[in-house]
Structure 1
Amino acid sequence: MFDLDGVLVDSEPVWEEVRRAYVADHGGTWRPETQSRLMGMSTQEWAAYLHELGVPLPPEEIARQVVDAMAARYRESIPFMPAAREAVRRLAERHTLGLASSSPRRLIDVVLDAAGLNDCFAATVSTEEVPRGKPAPDGYLEAASRLGVDPRACVAVEDSSNGLRSAHAAGMRVIAVPHPRYPPAPDALELAWLIIHDLSKLTPETFPS
């Protein structure tokens, strides 16, 4: 199971830039803990949170405008993580892959289309499609369900605190790939079965039989 943001795409800086500017432009207040809290939230959750920060629009409108801004940025360029596409293709030759992302479905599809990776994933889930975002396990449990596998037989590749907690709560072994700019909290990193710092190290032999 792969996460998307921060694992396959270096999108967290883009999300932060877009949402921070959006909050400022609409008279809200960005707090010191805002970015870390937003990482892993579903679309509905982060839109409601931006409303709480002082954006005077309904969460549904906030979500639409921010996702439009993200899609525009992605049309300019998608910042793939080093070795990410190669790692996915390499693993897809030997393993069944799923994806559980906090990104909206629209952005998941844009990224996978641009990367030419659609055929590599047997199931993809946006947390828009489940009741709760990360750190709740809903997205990972839904992805496992769509694959028809026991979550305890899955390995998840994650970067963020909320993502690590989500996959672990789903009963999966977790490989942590810490983002250098947004490292996970120490207690979340302790949940990892394995820590790597380079996706080129992610090979079929990495995984338990």
Structure 2
Amino acid sequence: MSVPELPAAVLWDMDGTLVDTEPYWFAAETELVGRFGGTWTHEQAISLVGSGLRDGARVLQDQGVRMTVDEIVGWQTDFVTERLVAPLPWRPGALALLSSLREADVPTALVTMSIRRMAEAVAAAVPFGGFDVVVAGDDVERPKPDPQAYLRAAELLGVDVTACVAIEDSPPGLAAAVASGAATIGVPHQAGLPEGDRWRLWPTLVGRGLEDLCAVADELAGSRG
């Protein structure tokens, strides 16, 4: 029986994939719009899932928030970070899968549109030192769905992105990962994800291991070939 080839690296989205921060972002958006006399619906919040914070800030400005983009991003990040207290709300199965990757010496990167100080705080909270590289929203010029963040993560790790597996939960993140060339797994959470030939959907990370990642990578590599 042949041993499956390990991914060159596994690239993880953060919000909604590794840790369940989306309810905090929703609350931040609702409170901020409310402070300026507006209303913010759940549907509007869902529409921003996975987007760059600066893009989201411009949407909030359109809803009447009279603050600069940088002020909005900073305020939201403070709001969410203050609520990320131990134990963090890890997504089901995420830490177990991440731990199996560390045990197998598979390189990992955290690839998020949250700003670096928040991303580093979450990465530091992983009890076994989960990530070799962190690429945050303020490290790139073009947010997801552009693939720049994933391409940067692969570059920092010194690997071919097409030999990597990416894990995402949002439509912009899924699009970014697929466009980068990584074998992509979507794990829907707050926002629905479409079926497609160029990625695979898992309902949860619970029970998933390294062999499952290898199988997806092999399958998608075959479909690309």
TM-score by length of 2: 0.83
Residue in 2 aligned with 1:190? 196
Tell me, yes or no, if structure 1 residue 61 matches structure 2 residue 71.
Answer: yes
Q: Take 1:48 and 1:98, find their aligned partners in 2: how far apart are those partners?
A: 28
Tell me, yes or no, if structure 1 residue 205 matches structure 2 residue 222.
Answer: no
Within the candidate set 74, 80, 96, 1:86 is matched to 96
Q: Aligned letter for 1:99?
A: L
Q: Aligned letter for 2:127?
A: G
**1:58-89 CA distances to partner (integer Å, 9 max, x unpaired)?**
11111111111111111375211122212111
Q: Aligned letter for 1:23?
A: V
Residue in 1 aligned with 2:133? 123
- Where relative contact order (Cα < 8 A, 6+ residues apart) is larger, the structure is 2
Rg bigger for which structure? 2
Give yes or no for contact 1:175–1:192 (8 Å, CA) kept in 2.
Answer: no
Q: Take 1:140 and 1:166, find their aligned partners in 2: how far apart are those partners?
A: 7
Alignment of 1:91-110 (within 5 A): 91-94=101-104, 95-110=106-121
Comparing 119-128 and 143-152, the one that deviates more: 119-128
Residue in 2 aligned with 1:148? 158
Q: CA deviation at 1:192?
A: 5.1
Comparing 76-85 and 95-104, the one that deviates more: 76-85
Q: Aligned letter for 1:116?
A: P
Change (3 A) 1:137 1:205: same
Q: Take 2:17 and 2:192, find their aligned partners in 1: how far apart are those partners?
A: 12
Give yes or no for contact 1:40–1:133 (8 Å, CA) kept in 2.
Answer: no
Identity of aligned residues (%): 35
Q: Take 1:109 and 1:61, find their aligned partners in 2: how far apart are those partners?
A: 20
Find the residue that maps to 2:150 and give its secondary structure.
Answer: helix
Q: CA deviation at 1:34?
A: 2.3
- Aligned CA RMSD, in angstroms, stands at 1.9
Find the residue that maps to 1:156 and give its secondary structure.
Answer: strand
Change (3 A) 1:193 1:62: closer
Change (3 A) 1:191 1:162: farther
Tell me, yes or no, if structure 1 residue 159 matches structure 2 residue 165.
Answer: no
Change (3 A) 1:191 1:141: farther
Find the residue that maps to 2:99 and give its secondary structure.
Answer: helix
Q: Aligned letter for 1:62?
A: I
Q: CA deviation at 1:132?
A: 1.2
Flag structure 2 segments of 5+ consecutive residues without an equivalent: 1-10, 219-225
Flag structure 1 segments of 5+ consecutive residues without an equivalent: none
Residue in 2 aligned with 1:71? 81
Q: CA deviation at 1:32?
A: 6.4
Residue in 2 aligned with 1:26? 36
Change (3 A) 1:143 1:167: same
Q: Take 1:111 and 1:32, find their aligned partners in 2: how far apart are those partners?
A: 25
Q: CA deviation at 1:3?
A: 0.6
Find the residue that maps to 2:84 and give its secondary structure.
Answer: helix
Comparing 199-208 and 80-89, the one that deviates more: 199-208
TM-score by length of 1: 0.89
Query: Deviation above 6 Å: which 4+ runs of structure 1?
Result: none
